[in-house]
């Protein structure tokens, strides 16, 4: 469960997010809509711990993201708008790298990666450099990396 309370983010004189509060229950799928510059990305960056709020708080499963940054980030699978990938890695190498970073236990790492490869339809791309992939397959790799550690929260 995510609790956002009175979140405000200011960049100088500009208020990007103004006293926003909402909650997301377990199992709930929430779409965040708004025109350009509405504050969507800023809010997402705060929830995922990429940037700090000016005031207000975000808690995930009762833990404040600023007091417990590592524990709360471990619960999140995040695919940013600009899908950041290492072009030099092969898909298999990249997913293994992310799984290790995300602390997937060694004993189940291979099976977890295999599960992601199957569910994202990446079997034929497994040994190709990411730089050679089409935009669609790059997105699939991004989705696979965001899910590899079986997060509670997907953004």
Partner 1 sequence: MIIIHEGNIVAQGTTEELLQAGSAKENIILTLKGPSDSIQSEIEQLPDIQKVEPHSATEQDCCRFRIIAHHDMREDIFTLAARNHWPIMELYRERVSLEDIFRKLTT
Q: Which long-range contacts (CB under 8 A, 24 or more apart) does 112-120 make?
A: 112/148, 112/149, 112/150, 113/148, 116/144, 116/147, 116/148, 117/91, 117/92, 117/144, 119/144, 119/147, 120/144
| Least distance CB 8 / partner 1 (angstroms) | 8
Region 41-80 residues binding partner 1, contact defined as CB under 8 A: 43
CA distance 122 to 124: 6
Region 22-41 residues binding partner 1, contact defined as CB under 8 A: 22, 30-35, 37-40
17 contacts partner 1 (rule: CB under 8 A) = yes
Backbone φ and ψ for 60, nearest 5 degrees, come out as: -120, 120
146 contacts partner 1 (rule: CB under 8 A) = no
Cβ burial, residue 33 (10 Å; 0-12/13-18/19+): exposed
| Least distance CB 15 / partner 1 (angstroms) | 5
Total residues in contact with partner 1, by rule CB under 8 A: 20
Spatial contact of 21 and 28, defined as CB atoms under 8 Å apart = no
129 contacts partner 1 (rule: CB under 8 A) = no
Q: Which is nearer to partner 1, 15 or 119 (CB)?
A: 15
Q: Which is nearer to partner 1, 24 or 74 (CB)?
A: 24
| Least distance CB 37 / partner 1 (angstroms) | 8
| Least distance CB 129 / partner 1 (angstroms) | 38
16 contacts partner 1 (rule: CB under 8 A) = yes
* Secondary structure (3-state) at 2: strand
* Chain mean position to CA 120: 16
Residue ranges in contact with partner 1 by CB under 8 A: 9, 15-22, 30-35, 37-40, 43
């Amino acid at each position: 469960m995510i609790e956002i309370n009175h979140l405000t983010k200011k960049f100088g004189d500009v208020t990007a997010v103004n006293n926003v509060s909402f909650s997301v229950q377990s199992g709930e799928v929430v779409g965040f809509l708004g025109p350009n510059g509405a504050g969507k990305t800023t809010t997402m960056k705060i929830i995922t711990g990429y940037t700090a709020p000016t005031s207000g708080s975000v808690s995930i499963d009762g833990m404040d993201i600023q007091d417990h940054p590592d524990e709360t980030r471990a619960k999140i699978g995040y695919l940013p708008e600009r899908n950041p990938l290492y072009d030099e890695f092969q898909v298999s190498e990249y997913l293994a790298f992310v799984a290790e970073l995300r602390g997937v236990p060694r004993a189940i790492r291979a099976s977890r990666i295999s599960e992601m490869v199957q569910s994202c339809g990446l079997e034929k791309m497994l040994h190709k450099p990411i730089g050679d992939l089409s935009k669609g397959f790059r997105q699939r790799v991004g989705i696979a990396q965001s899910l590899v550690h079986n997060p509670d929260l997907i953004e």
